[in-house]
């Protein structure tokens, strides 16, 4: 159950007939205020945090050497 005007973050991804799809049922798009698209939704944020954590880990390693 999803309340009307909800904001949904779709972090799921699956492939169907060669297309990348999210986990949100297309029927829900009519009642949601907004949602993250797949592809192109949270992926760029995930990559940014991955690199941020990589830099942080490298700095910690350098300080502890």
Could you list the residue range(s) of the whole structural domain that residue 38 is in? 7-63
- Higher pLDDT among residues 54 and 12, named by residue: 54
pLDDT at 25: 87
How far does Cα 5 stand from its chain's mean position? 20
pLDDT at 52 over 90: yes
Would you call 10 exposed, middle or buried from its count of C-beta atoms within 10 A (0-12, 13-18, 19+)? middle
Q: Is residue 1 domain-resident?
A: no
The confidence score (pLDDT) of residue 46 equals 87
Element (H, E) at 62: helix 43-63
What tokens were used for 33?
């205020």
Number of structural domains the chain divides into: 1
Rounded to two decimals, the pTM is: 0.59
2 located within any domain: no
pLDDT tens for 15-47 read 999 999 888 888 888 899 999 888 888 888 888
Count other Cβ atoms within 10 Å, centred on residue 21.
15
What integer pLDDT is reported at residue 4 of this predicted model?
Answer: 93
Predicted local confidence at residue 48, as pLDDT:
93
């Amino acid at each position: 159950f999803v309340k009307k005007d909800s904001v949904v973050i779709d972090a799921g991804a699956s492939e169907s007939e060669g297309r990348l799809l999210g986990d949100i049922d297309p029927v829900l798009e009519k009642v949601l205020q907004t949602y993250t698209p797949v592809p192109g939704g949270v992926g760029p944020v995930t990559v940014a945090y991955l690199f941020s954590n990589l830099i942080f880990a490298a700095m910690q390693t350098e300080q502890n050497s």
